[in-house]
Amino acid sequence: LGFSPSLKWQQQQVGNFSDIRQSVNKHRQLWQTKTLDDNVIMPKIDDEEGWKRFCLGENVCLNTAQTDSGEPGVDYIKMGFPPFLSIVSKLNQATVSAVLEYLINWFEEREFVPQLGRWLYALLACLEKPLLPEAHSLIRQLARRCSTVRANLESKDDERLSALNLLICLVARYFEQNDLADK
Amino acid sequence: GTGQSDDSDIWDDTALIKAYDKAVASFKKS
């Protein structure tokens, strides 16, 4: 009680997310044609470790200490590449599903980090409906894991709470896994 | 003229990241 979001907030997020997905579709072709910077080397679809490092960064994946250069987000190799439209627009549905699976598997055994939230949101925004059975199972696993992590939070001020609530909301309400929804 | 350029300006390379950050921030305010 007090940790889960109101119905009104959930409905707003579903509406906004639906708009975002439409815009992604509308602009996908434009962004697909953009040339990526030389340092952006996307892993092959079956390179699980490569994708985890690409999205979350070496600091998180290799458990190395984070160095604060004072310029956040500059070192993408260490901090992970953000889900820029020019990157996610180049992912086909098979890759979207595969990366989603890699990141959800990673989250099963580790703590939530901000990069993870951004990537999961971006991948869900690119995941086409109707979902394949594997995708159903995958996103349900994500919502359950978010619920478990949320249940262990000690404070409502925890930075992770809003991100966890958002992901649960989108899986349950946008992708219609209603039994997992916060009432 | 058509409104297309305005839309493109708003919908930049970081649009998904901004949308996520906005959604997360909205819970903190709610």
Interval A16-63: pLDDT, tens? 999 999 999 998 888 888 888 888 999 999 999 999 999 999 999 988
pLDDT number for residue B6: 46
> pLDDT category, B4, cuts 50, 70, 90?
very low
Instruction: Give A4-29 pLDDT, tens digit per residue.
Output: 999 999 999 999 999 999 999 998 88
Q: Does A9 touch chain B (CB under 8 A)?
A: yes
Q: Would you tell me how many other CB atoms lie within 10 Å of the CB of residue B21?
A: 16
pLDDT in tens, B7-29: 554 578 999 999 999 999 999 87
Nearest to A117 among B12, B15, B20 (CB): B20
- Does residue B1 have a pLDDT over 50? no
Chain A positions in Cβ-Cβ contact with residue B17 (cut-off 8 Å): 82-84, 118, 122
Instruction: Compute φ and ψ for A75, nearest 5 degrees.
Output: -90, 90
Question: Which member of A12, A13, A125 has the closest CB to residue B16?
Answer: A125
Residues of chain A contacting residue B23, judged by C-beta atoms under 8 Å apart = 13, 16-17, 121, 166
Classify residue A156 by burial, with Cβ atoms within 10 Å: 0-12, 13-18, 19+: exposed
Structure tokens at A22: 């439409």
Q: Which residue has the tokens 């990673």?
A: A106
- A76 contacts B4 by C-beta, under 8 angstroms: no
pLDDT > 90: percent of chain A: 80
**Which chain B residues are Cβ-neighbours of A166 within 8 angstroms?**
20, 23-24, 27
**CA dihedral sign of residues A59, A60, A63, A69:** positive
Q: pLDDT per residue over A70-80, tens digit each?
A: 665 468 989 99
Is the CB of residue A5 less than 8 Å away from at least one CB of chain B? yes
Please give, rounded to a whole number of angstroms, the shortest distance from the CA of B22 to a CA of chain A. 10
pLDDT score for A154: 95
Looking at residue A34, what is its pLDDT?
A: 86
At residue A42, φ and ψ (nearest 5 deg) are: -80, 135
Question: Residue A96 in contact with residue A127, Cβ under 8 Å?
Answer: yes
Continuous H helices in chain B: 4-10, 15-29
Q: Which residue has the higher pLDDT, A152 or A1?
A: A152
Find chain B residues with C-beta within 8 A of A85's C-beta.
11-16
